[in-house]
Amino acid sequence: MRPAVFAYAGGVIRDHATLLTFIAADAALATLLAEARGRDDGDRSHDLAHALRVALWTVRLGGDRVAAREAVAAALLHDAVNPPKSGPERARASEMAAALATRRLGELGFAPAAVTRIAAAIRDHSWSRGAVPGDALGCALQDADRLEALGAIGLLRCIETGARMGAEWFDPDDPWAASRPLDDHAYSLDHFFAKLLLLPASMRTGAGRREAARRAGLLRRFVAHLGEEIGKPPPR
Protein backbone atom coordinates (compact mmCIF):
# COMPACT_ATOMS: atom_id res chain seq x y z
CA MET A 1 0.00 0.00 0.00
CA ARG A 2 1.41 3.40 -0.95
CA PRO A 3 1.49 5.64 2.16
CA ALA A 4 -0.99 8.49 1.99
CA VAL A 5 0.06 12.03 2.89
CA PHE A 6 -2.04 14.57 4.76
CA ALA A 7 -1.56 18.30 4.69
CA TYR A 8 -1.25 20.57 7.71
CA ALA A 9 -0.03 24.13 8.15
CA GLY A 10 3.66 23.19 8.17
CA GLY A 11 3.63 20.60 5.36
CA VAL A 12 2.39 17.01 5.14
CA ILE A 13 2.31 13.97 7.41
CA ARG A 14 3.83 11.15 5.37
CA ASP A 15 6.18 9.30 7.72
CA HIS A 16 7.61 9.15 11.23
CA ALA A 17 9.72 12.30 10.79
CA THR A 18 6.90 14.49 9.54
CA LEU A 19 4.61 13.10 12.24
CA LEU A 20 7.10 14.25 14.89
CA THR A 21 7.32 17.66 13.21
CA PHE A 22 3.53 17.93 13.33
CA ILE A 23 3.49 17.02 17.02
CA ALA A 24 6.30 19.43 17.91
CA ALA A 25 4.37 22.32 16.30
CA ASP A 26 1.36 21.74 18.61
CA ALA A 27 1.99 22.46 22.31
CA ALA A 28 -0.78 20.14 23.51
CA LEU A 29 0.37 17.23 21.34
CA ALA A 30 3.98 17.83 22.38
CA THR A 31 2.86 17.57 26.01
CA LEU A 32 1.00 14.32 25.31
CA LEU A 33 4.10 12.94 23.57
CA ALA A 34 6.28 13.76 26.57
CA GLU A 35 3.75 12.15 28.91
CA ALA A 36 3.60 9.02 26.75
CA ARG A 37 7.38 8.81 26.86
CA GLY A 38 7.26 9.11 30.65
CA ARG A 39 4.78 6.22 30.94
CA ASP A 40 7.11 3.80 29.14
CA ASP A 41 7.53 0.83 31.50
CA GLY A 42 9.61 -1.40 29.24
CA ASP A 43 6.62 -3.16 27.63
CA ARG A 44 7.70 -2.92 23.99
CA SER A 45 4.26 -3.99 22.81
CA HIS A 46 2.77 -0.80 24.24
CA ASP A 47 5.68 1.64 24.23
CA LEU A 48 6.09 5.06 22.63
CA ALA A 49 7.20 3.56 19.31
CA HIS A 50 3.93 1.60 19.21
CA ALA A 51 1.91 4.74 19.97
CA LEU A 52 3.64 6.67 17.16
CA ARG A 53 3.05 3.87 14.63
CA VAL A 54 -0.61 3.81 15.64
CA ALA A 55 -0.73 7.60 15.29
CA LEU A 56 0.65 7.52 11.75
CA TRP A 57 -1.77 4.79 10.66
CA THR A 58 -4.73 6.49 12.35
CA VAL A 59 -3.96 9.61 10.30
CA ARG A 60 -3.61 7.52 7.12
CA LEU A 61 -6.79 5.52 7.64
CA GLY A 62 -8.83 8.50 8.79
CA GLY A 63 -7.90 10.55 5.74
CA ASP A 64 -9.83 13.75 5.26
CA ARG A 65 -12.67 12.45 7.45
CA VAL A 66 -10.61 12.78 10.63
CA ALA A 67 -8.72 15.78 12.00
CA ALA A 68 -5.05 14.82 12.18
CA ARG A 69 -4.72 16.49 15.59
CA GLU A 70 -7.49 14.29 17.02
CA ALA A 71 -6.04 11.18 15.39
CA VAL A 72 -2.63 11.80 16.95
CA ALA A 73 -4.04 12.67 20.37
CA ALA A 74 -6.14 9.50 20.39
CA ALA A 75 -3.14 7.35 19.48
CA LEU A 76 -0.86 8.92 22.09
CA LEU A 77 -3.48 8.24 24.78
CA HIS A 78 -4.98 4.92 23.68
CA ASP A 79 -2.69 2.88 25.97
CA ALA A 80 -2.39 5.51 28.71
CA VAL A 81 -3.63 2.91 31.19
CA ASN A 82 -1.93 -0.43 30.54
CA PRO A 83 -2.60 -3.09 33.22
CA PRO A 84 -0.76 -6.43 32.94
CA LYS A 85 -2.09 -8.61 30.13
CA SER A 86 -3.24 -11.30 32.54
CA GLY A 87 -4.38 -8.90 35.27
CA PRO A 88 -7.99 -8.57 36.48
CA GLU A 89 -8.32 -4.98 35.19
CA ARG A 90 -7.10 -5.70 31.66
CA ALA A 91 -10.63 -5.84 30.24
CA ARG A 92 -11.25 -2.30 31.52
CA ALA A 93 -8.00 -0.80 30.24
CA SER A 94 -9.51 1.14 27.34
CA GLU A 95 -12.33 2.44 29.54
CA MET A 96 -9.81 3.71 32.09
CA ALA A 97 -7.63 5.22 29.36
CA ALA A 98 -10.68 7.04 27.98
CA ALA A 99 -11.41 8.50 31.41
CA LEU A 100 -7.81 9.70 31.72
CA ALA A 101 -7.98 11.17 28.21
CA THR A 102 -11.19 13.05 28.98
CA ARG A 103 -9.57 14.73 31.94
CA ARG A 104 -6.19 15.42 30.31
CA LEU A 105 -7.51 16.71 26.99
CA GLY A 106 -9.79 19.13 28.81
CA GLU A 107 -6.83 20.41 30.80
CA LEU A 108 -4.87 20.91 27.57
CA GLY A 109 -7.63 22.99 25.99
CA PHE A 110 -9.15 20.59 23.48
CA ALA A 111 -12.71 21.56 22.51
CA PRO A 112 -15.43 19.57 24.32
CA ALA A 113 -16.65 17.93 21.09
CA ALA A 114 -13.11 16.82 20.24
CA VAL A 115 -12.63 15.44 23.77
CA THR A 116 -15.83 13.41 23.38
CA ARG A 117 -14.75 11.97 20.01
CA ILE A 118 -11.25 11.10 21.16
CA ALA A 119 -12.39 9.52 24.43
CA ALA A 120 -15.02 7.42 22.63
CA ALA A 121 -12.44 6.21 20.10
CA ILE A 122 -10.06 5.20 22.91
CA ARG A 123 -12.81 3.47 24.88
CA ASP A 124 -13.98 1.41 21.92
CA HIS A 125 -10.68 0.54 20.23
CA SER A 126 -9.76 -2.58 22.21
CA TRP A 127 -10.31 -6.15 21.03
CA SER A 128 -11.52 -7.33 24.44
CA ARG A 129 -14.25 -4.68 24.59
CA GLY A 130 -15.75 -5.98 21.33
CA ALA A 131 -17.19 -2.57 20.42
CA VAL A 132 -17.99 -1.18 16.97
CA PRO A 133 -16.76 2.44 16.89
CA GLY A 134 -19.38 5.04 16.15
CA ASP A 135 -17.43 7.39 13.88
CA ALA A 136 -14.49 7.68 11.48
CA LEU A 137 -11.96 8.49 14.20
CA GLY A 138 -12.94 5.41 16.21
CA CYS A 139 -12.75 3.17 13.15
CA ALA A 140 -9.35 4.54 12.14
CA LEU A 141 -7.88 4.16 15.64
CA GLN A 142 -9.23 0.64 16.08
CA ASP A 143 -7.89 -0.48 12.70
CA ALA A 144 -4.50 1.21 13.29
CA ASP A 145 -4.08 -0.52 16.64
CA ARG A 146 -5.09 -3.90 15.20
CA LEU A 147 -2.58 -3.58 12.37
CA GLU A 148 0.11 -3.62 15.07
CA ALA A 149 -0.90 -7.19 15.92
CA LEU A 150 -0.19 -8.36 12.36
CA GLY A 151 2.86 -8.60 10.12
CA ALA A 152 6.46 -8.51 11.36
CA ILE A 153 5.68 -6.21 14.28
CA GLY A 154 2.72 -8.40 15.24
CA LEU A 155 4.91 -11.50 15.25
CA LEU A 156 7.46 -9.83 17.55
CA ARG A 157 4.74 -8.51 19.84
CA CYS A 158 3.06 -11.91 20.07
CA ILE A 159 6.25 -13.71 21.10
CA GLU A 160 7.28 -10.99 23.56
CA THR A 161 3.85 -10.83 25.18
CA GLY A 162 3.80 -14.60 25.50
CA ALA A 163 7.21 -14.53 27.15
CA ARG A 164 6.06 -11.87 29.62
CA MET A 165 3.13 -14.13 30.51
CA GLY A 166 5.32 -17.23 30.83
CA ALA A 167 3.87 -18.91 27.73
CA GLU A 168 5.68 -21.56 25.69
CA TRP A 169 6.24 -20.92 21.98
CA PHE A 170 3.95 -23.82 21.04
CA ASP A 171 2.76 -27.20 22.28
CA PRO A 172 5.38 -29.64 20.93
CA ASP A 173 2.93 -32.54 20.98
CA ASP A 174 -0.01 -30.73 19.40
CA PRO A 175 1.18 -27.39 17.95
CA TRP A 176 -2.00 -26.83 15.91
CA ALA A 177 -4.46 -27.65 18.72
CA ALA A 178 -5.92 -30.57 16.79
CA SER A 179 -6.87 -32.47 19.97
CA ARG A 180 -7.14 -29.72 22.57
CA PRO A 181 -8.76 -26.32 22.98
CA LEU A 182 -6.73 -23.26 22.00
CA ASP A 183 -4.90 -21.76 24.98
CA ASP A 184 -2.98 -18.60 24.09
CA HIS A 185 -2.05 -18.03 27.72
CA ALA A 186 -0.02 -21.24 27.61
CA TYR A 187 1.21 -21.19 23.98
CA SER A 188 2.06 -18.11 21.88
CA LEU A 189 1.35 -19.91 18.61
CA ASP A 190 -2.25 -20.49 19.72
CA HIS A 191 -2.71 -16.70 19.72
CA PHE A 192 -2.38 -16.73 15.93
CA PHE A 193 -5.57 -18.78 15.69
CA ALA A 194 -7.39 -17.39 18.72
CA LYS A 195 -7.03 -13.77 17.57
CA LEU A 196 -4.38 -12.59 15.11
CA LEU A 197 -5.60 -14.30 11.93
CA LEU A 198 -9.17 -13.23 12.74
CA LEU A 199 -8.25 -9.54 12.74
CA PRO A 200 -8.48 -8.80 8.98
CA ALA A 201 -12.21 -9.63 9.01
CA SER A 202 -12.74 -7.16 11.86
CA MET A 203 -11.29 -4.10 10.13
CA ARG A 204 -13.60 -1.10 9.67
CA THR A 205 -11.84 0.78 6.86
CA GLY A 206 -11.09 -0.32 3.32
CA ALA A 207 -7.42 0.64 3.58
CA GLY A 208 -7.22 -1.13 6.93
CA ARG A 209 -8.63 -4.33 5.45
CA ARG A 210 -6.12 -4.27 2.59
CA GLU A 211 -3.14 -3.67 4.88
CA ALA A 212 -4.38 -6.26 7.38
CA ALA A 213 -4.68 -8.88 4.63
CA ARG A 214 -1.13 -8.12 3.48
CA ARG A 215 0.28 -8.43 7.00
CA ALA A 216 -1.72 -11.56 7.79
CA GLY A 217 -0.07 -13.15 4.77
CA LEU A 218 3.28 -12.88 6.50
CA LEU A 219 1.91 -14.65 9.57
CA ARG A 220 0.51 -17.45 7.42
CA ARG A 221 3.88 -17.87 5.72
CA PHE A 222 5.54 -18.03 9.13
CA VAL A 223 3.11 -20.74 10.23
CA ALA A 224 3.87 -22.75 7.08
CA HIS A 225 7.64 -22.42 7.60
CA LEU A 226 7.34 -23.35 11.27
CA GLY A 227 5.40 -26.48 10.33
CA GLU A 228 8.18 -27.47 7.93
CA GLU A 229 10.89 -26.92 10.51
CA ILE A 230 9.21 -28.93 13.29
CA GLY A 231 8.07 -31.65 10.88
CA LYS A 232 4.39 -31.11 11.60
CA PRO A 233 2.74 -29.18 8.77
CA PRO A 234 -0.31 -27.14 9.80
CA PRO A 235 -3.68 -28.44 8.66
CA ARG A 236 -5.11 -26.78 5.58
Residue-wise pLDDT tens digits, 175-184: 999 999 999 9
* pLDDT value at residue 232: 93
- Of the chain, the percentage scoring pLDDT greater than 70 comes to 89
Asked if residue 2 has pLDDT above 80, the reply is no
Which among 61, 55, 62 has a CA at the least distance from the CA of 32?
55
Q: At what angle do helices 112-124 and 136-147 cross, to 10 degrees?
A: 40
* pLDDT value at residue 9: 44
Span 72-85, mean pLDDT? 83
* pLDDT confidence bin for 214, thresholds 50/70/90: very high
Residue-wise pLDDT tens digits, 120-148: 999 888 767 677 888 999 999 999 999 99
Say if CB 145 and CB 125 are below 8 A apart: yes
Sorted by where each starts, the structural domains of the chain and their CATH numbers stand as 6-140 (1.10.3210.10), 151-230 (1.10.3210.50)
- Taking all residues of the chain, what is their mean pLDDT, rounded to a whole number? 88
Which range among 45-49, 67-71, 214-218, 232-236 shows the weakest confidence by mean pLDDT?
A: 45-49
Asked if residue 172 has pLDDT above 90, the reply is yes
* pLDDT value at residue 80: 77
- Residues 6+ positions from 58 with CB-CB distance below 8 Å: 66, 71, 72, 74, 75, 137, 140, 141, 144
